[in-house]
Amino acid sequence: MLFVVDVGNTNITYGVYDGEELITTFRMMSKVQHTSDEYGIQIIELLKANDISPDNIDGCIVASVVPNIMHSLVGGLVRYLNVEPIIVGAGIKTGIKIITENPKEIGPDRIVDAVGAYEKYGGPILVLDFGTATTYDLITEKGEFAAGITAPGLRISAKALWEDTAKLPEVEIKKPASILAQETISSMQAGLVYGQIGQTEYIINQVKKESGYKDLKVVATGGLGRIISEETSLIQVYDSSLTLEGLRLIYNKNKK
């Protein structure tokens, strides 16, 4: 079995593949740092809670945008799963050619999403990831990473509202019944969700215009991606496991 690990700014998402089948996923917070033993023990317990024997894990791959936890996390994986993980980074075969001005600036999470989207759906394709940041990445028909747009994520925007204003409360991020809000909570929800929908549609249309790809495929992923995907016809597919699938594909290109 293959153990895939996506380390984001908010959560660490784990997945277990049996061949091409994703059989389970689970998460931990990435903002709370742990020792290698704590990571290892928690991973073992989470695997067992999902009826998976740690002894069946024979491969591992990690993509991370949080460098300061990698030493402990990798140490826990090596010690407790007895696997040497492949780390997505320079020198890794991905099948995606980065043609931006500075390829080293492209985060491993975005490369992994690009691989998953291009191999599953073909190109040209625009990959939207609604995570801590909202990212829009353009992959050409030849599998080239051509451009990327980065915007504040929904949670970042929401957090700014209730932390930087004296009287606005913390609210659940969801679409209200109407944009014509008449009280504070639905007013904030309307601004956050409808604002994100508007931003998303504008950016998609502008990418189509400037790239010349009128028939551009658009796929979304990320925790809050489902909310936005359901509200616009410009997103054709919402794929919750796109990043994990990209990790599996990259592992297969690099395993010995």
The answer to whether the CB of 217 falls within 8 A of the CB of 126 is yes
Residues of the chain with CATH 3.30.420.40: 2-87, 97-247
Cα torsion angle, 195, 197, 203, 205, sign: negative
Among 109, 113, 137, 239, the one annotated catalytic: 109
Please state, in angstroms and rounded to a whole number, the distance separating the CA atoms of residues 22 and 38.
Answer: 25
Q: Which fold has domain 2-87?
A: Nucleotidyltransferase; domain 5 (3.30.420)
Residues 6+ apart with CB under 8 A from 252: none
Kindly report the three-state secondary structure assignment for every residue of 223-243.
CCHHHHHCCCCCCCEECCCHH
CATH number given to 97-247? 3.30.420.40
Q: Report the candidate in 241, 249, 219, 244 with the shortest Cα–Cα distance to residue 94.
A: 249
Give yes or no: 109 in active site.
Answer: yes
| Alpha helices (H) along 33-131 | 36-49, 70-81, 108-121
The answer to whether the CB of 20 falls within 8 A of the CB of 11 is no
pLDDT in tens, the chain (256 residues): 999 999 998 899 999 999 999 999 999 998 888 999 999 999 999 999 999 999 999 999 999 999 999 999 999 999 999 999 999 998 899 999 999 998 888 999 999 999 999 999 999 999 999 998 999 999 999 999 999 999 999 989 999 988 888 888 888 899 999 999 999 999 999 999 999 999 999 999 999 999 999 999 999 999 889 999 999 999 999 999 999 999 999 999 998 6
Whole-structure pTM value = 0.92
